[in-house]
Amino acid sequence: MNQLRNSKGRFAKNKISICFLIMISVMTIMAWAGMQESKKYTRAIVQEPEKVAVAMINHLPASSNAPVKQIIVNVAGKRKFKYTDYLVRLSYCESRFDVTRTNDNGEFGIDRGPFQINNFFHPEVNDKQARDVIFATNWTIDMINAGRQHEWACDKLIKGKLNYIAMNK
């Protein structure tokens, strides 16, 4: 800790900045090493997007649950959906393409499936449908086409960091 202090005994700003950059680098390396699958780390991505999520979303691993990713791409292609990349990044950010992923929001229901469809706010979608990649992708495309992409926690993060063109009509 003394190495971070200047000659007056105060913390040197440039050394703290270097430590912060090293910390971010270590977190990114941990993510690539597979730590992104832990629930604690996933919560950190949502709660502290400025620190971690940018690297995770900008660099999708090629092997990250490829079948689910490919199904999403295929469904979007068949529907001629022009924001396929956004759709893939949304599923990755929300669930890491995990169809079994759930997030308990207490009195506000449970998020389920690859797009984390909430059962409190969307009771029209049952558990089986929310976990079905084809159904969930089609449902999500319909929501996005209706201008309701703001309902996803990752929407602002993806758009803000990747400079997506606003999709509201």
The mean pLDDT value of the chain amounts to 76
25 lies in the same domain as 76: no
In a domain, 50, yes or no: no
Amino acid identity, position 40: K
Q: Mind giving me the DSSP string for 51-84?
A: TTHHHHHHS--TTTTHHHHHHHHHHHHHTT-TTH
What's the pLDDT tens digit per position in 131-167? 999 999 999 999 999 999 999 999 988 887 554 444 4
In a domain, 47, yes or no: no
138 lies in the same domain as 81: yes
70 lies in the same domain as 146: yes
Structural domain count of the chain:
2
Rounded Cα distance, 6 and 53, in Å = 33
Q: To which residue do tokens 């292609």 refer?
A: 77
User: Could you tell me the pTM of the whole model?
Assistant: 0.60
- Domain of residue 1: give its range: 1-33
82 lies in the same domain as 147: yes
138 lies in the same domain as 73: yes
Question: What's the pLDDT score for residue 97?
Answer: 95
CB 145 within 8 A of CB 87: no
61 pLDDT more than 90: no
Residues 6+ apart with CB under 8 A from 79: 138, 141
What's the pLDDT tens digit per position in 85-141? 999 999 999 999 999 999 999 999 999 999 999 999 999 999 999 999 999 999 999
